[in-house]
Structure 1
């Protein structure tokens, strides 16, 4: 076989190993946490970097009743992939601008969000063009100040939806919102948002609109706020085994299993004398005669450059850290002065489920001042995703 025909996983020195059994476990955990609600697994951004179709399939296998993605193009890809596999779940998508190809969305049987009358009008026009009724979720801004109609404008959105529904162009199947501070359980903001949401639901009922599902809870809402469960919950990061706030409760405490293990085979291992400058700018120097190892992952792969001289790495069972600046394609780790027994081809673990003391995505988030959501979802496309199923292993 020629090199050009080899699979990326066969030639690339790094890989992200995704355990589909962990995805299924997490979906079941979330379903138990919100037993009266349908679970909509959010698989946006290529399933937070884990791989859209494999994760979506695993989530459905575990009992997720529906799927959510932000972007219309990704929703169309997801529908095509699932249809090819003989599966046709509810898919909600919520980000599109005026002039989007909504006809394609309706022909693909997608459900779409509307935050303003213009969106309802364009969906109704697409319905008339295709002969397909648009299935719509009306969004109320309860305090996130992002998508959704402000409470004082929600009546106008309801009026537009009621007219389109009366004309047979639109079916309002959902009313929804998003929580801003649900990962801070002691914040009063969540209660305030739930009050606004409840008022919006009453307003919709008075306007003659009775949706099939009401939903406001993302991962943090699902895990920390039972009052936010309503008819459907939309967990995202928790599907991947990561806590929405590890300071409040860790993945272990929430019975979640991190699904991704990022690892790379060392490409260079060499001795270096004391005082050797390491990587660009020589922001690090060896303090003694030592051994340096090169890990073939860099900021083009999603490694945050701000983690230079800080990012945790596990090599040969030892917890180490990035030495010097992270480069576009690689970074260096100082293995120490002693004989390490480490060689080219040995595996460095960037993050995993934390067993055996290996770093977590949470640890990378901590040293970068970010969140675990960003650490996993920013992983570059050139890093192969390799899928395993620990439930099938002997």
Structure 2
């Protein structure tokens, strides 16, 4: 018996994850490692299964946005190095120590408090990556003087170990490289100041997916492979460049729950924004905006049925959506593809993002805990995770 009841699910092709890791591996200098970014539950694909496959495919470590995400990976048996890229409250450093998770820091006061917590608890030292803000304007030290103070505080903290230094690019996915180059020059200046001060530099990393594509020579010790891991490009421009060929890993599928054929005009969904005409067939699908299928696709989006595009009609409801089919075509339980390929047709996440006025990153991230993830390798189902019930079906190959 399948581990979920509603006929709506995400399929993740782990072969695509492997291909994308290998593609970046061949695009980068041999000395540059790959840190697979699996924050936001692997950009909606499932952090555990994707993380394991990325590591099995040649990634050296994983990165997440918050410590809670790292806990999930450790509980799933992943032993590889994990870096938390975002802010972690100082009192949570004890969890990081117990789980051997490295943290991001950029503030001397935080380091002092974190060190005190670890000393009082008698725990092992925690690895720390210093974040520099070279032009992103979020987290990080902004001046050489500030950086020197932070490094000095870190070196004086017996329970903290300096294991990395990094920055993050704001515009590396754009045709105009001025901002990215300026950021890299600032980062290089920080590194040079540290060398002149006699500091032995730890792991250095600065490239996100976009920078890794455009500037592989900036790879240093590692890149942070985020959106590219999932077969998506950081921007339409990066896709057009065609430096690397990526394979999308995610499909969103459902099955027809009900079919009705209009014998007279009838309105469809809230607001009566669509009126079915005699002879039209309207199929109801068990997915809605509560699952992360955007209401902005109302009367605009499309789905795939028998390899053909069919329009979404009426407003997307919380739990259901309707599509118009050719008269007499649809049957209950027939498969519908909302994102992905069916036959020769494809509805890409880029297309969906453009329709709803966002970026492709957001589209899979919106797919939430109500939708199970089903994992495939070599065309065979190898694992299932249903966030609603929080049950993992083991993926034997990646143990």
Q: TM-score, with normalisation over the residues of structure 1?
A: 0.90
How far is 1:99 from its partner?
Answer: 4.3
Q: How does 1:181-220 map to 2 (within 5 A)?
A: 181-220=171-210
Report the Cα distance in structure 2 between the residues aligned to 1:218 and 1:355, rounded to whole angstroms. Answer: 33
SS at match of 2:259: strand
SS at match of 2:10: strand
Report the Cα distance in structure 1 between the residues aligned to 2:294 and 2:238, rounded to whole angstroms. Answer: 24
Aligned to 1:159: 149
CA contact (8 A) 2:281 2:325 kept: yes
Runs of 4+ in 1 over 6 A off after TM superposition: none
Q: How does 1:221-232 map to 2 (within 5 A)?
A: 221-232=211-222
Report the Cα distance in structure 2 between the residues aligned to 1:253 and 1:163, rounded to whole angstroms. Answer: 42
Structure 1, gaps ≥5 residues long: 1-5
Aligned to 2:80: 89
Aligned to 2:12: 18
SS at match of 2:347: coil
Report the Cα distance in structure 2 between the residues aligned to 1:107 and 1:95, rounded to whole angstroms. Answer: 19
SS at match of 1:249: helix
Verify: 1:69 aligned to 2:64, yes or no: yes
How far is 1:311 from its partner?
Answer: 1.7
CA contact (8 A) 1:48 1:377 kept: yes
Structure 2, gaps ≥5 residues long: 382-399
Report the Cα distance in structure 1 between the residues aligned to 2:230 and 2:343, rounded to whole angstroms. Answer: 16
Aligned to 1:327: 317
Q: How does 1:307-322 map to 2 (within 5 A)?
A: 307-322=297-312
How far is 1:70 from its partner?
Answer: 0.4
Q: How does 1:160-309 map to 2 (within 5 A)?
A: 160-249=150-239, 254-273=244-263, 275-286=265-276, 289-309=279-299
How far is 1:122 from its partner?
Answer: 2.8
Deviations 1:192-226 (A, max 9, x none): 11011111111222344333321111111111222
Once the two structures are overlaid, the 10-residue window that deviates more, 218-227 or 64-73, is 218-227
Q: Do the aligned partners of residues 73 and 247 (structure 1) sit closer, same or farther apart at CA in structure 2, a change above 3 Å counting? A: same
CA contact (8 A) 2:261 2:278 kept: no
Verify: 1:32 aligned to 2:26, yes or no: yes
CA contact (8 A) 1:365 1:375 kept: yes
Report the Cα distance in structure 1 between the residues aligned to 2:333 and 2:380, rounded to whole angstroms. Answer: 27
Q: Do the aligned partners of residues 58 and 98 (structure 1) sit closer, same or farther apart at CA in structure 2, a change above 3 Å counting? A: closer
Report the Cα distance in structure 2 between the residues aligned to 1:210 and 1:8, rounded to whole angstroms. Answer: 51
How far is 1:169 from its partner?
Answer: 2.7
How far is 1:364 from its partner?
Answer: 0.7
1:121 to 112, 116, 121: 112
How far is 1:253 from its partner?
Answer: 6.9
How far is 1:61 from its partner?
Answer: 0.4
Q: Do the aligned partners of residues 232 and 106 (structure 1) sit closer, same or farther apart at CA in structure 2, a change above 3 Å counting? A: same
Q: TM-score, with normalisation over the residues of structure 2?
A: 0.89
Report the Cα distance in structure 2 between the residues aligned to 1:100 and 1:355, rounded to whole angstroms. Answer: 53
Report the Cα distance in structure 1 between the residues aligned to 2:273 and 2:237, rounded to whole angstroms. Answer: 31
Aligned to 1:382: 370
Deviations 1:321-374 (A, max 9, x none): 2111111111111114x432x201001101115762121111111101111111
Q: Do the aligned partners of residues 251 and 270 (structure 1) sit closer, same or farther apart at CA in structure 2, a change above 3 Å counting? A: farther
How far is 1:170 from its partner?
Answer: 2.3
Report the Cα distance in structure 2 between the residues aligned to 1:147 and 1:73, rounded to whole angstroms. Answer: 19
2:328 to 327, 339, 351: 339
1:109 to 100, 109, 112: 100
Verify: 1:350 aligned to 2:338, yes or no: yes
Deviations 1:279-328 (A, max 9, x none): 11012223553000111111111011112111221011111221111111
Q: Do the aligned partners of residues 178 and 317 (structure 1) sit closer, same or farther apart at CA in structure 2, a change above 3 Å counting? A: same
Report the Cα distance in structure 2 between the residues aligned to 1:95 and 1:137, rounded to whole angstroms. Answer: 11
Aligned to 1:46: 41
Verify: 1:140 aligned to 2:132, yes or no: yes
Q: Do the aligned partners of residues 97 and 59 (structure 1) sit closer, same or farther apart at CA in structure 2, a change above 3 Å counting? A: closer
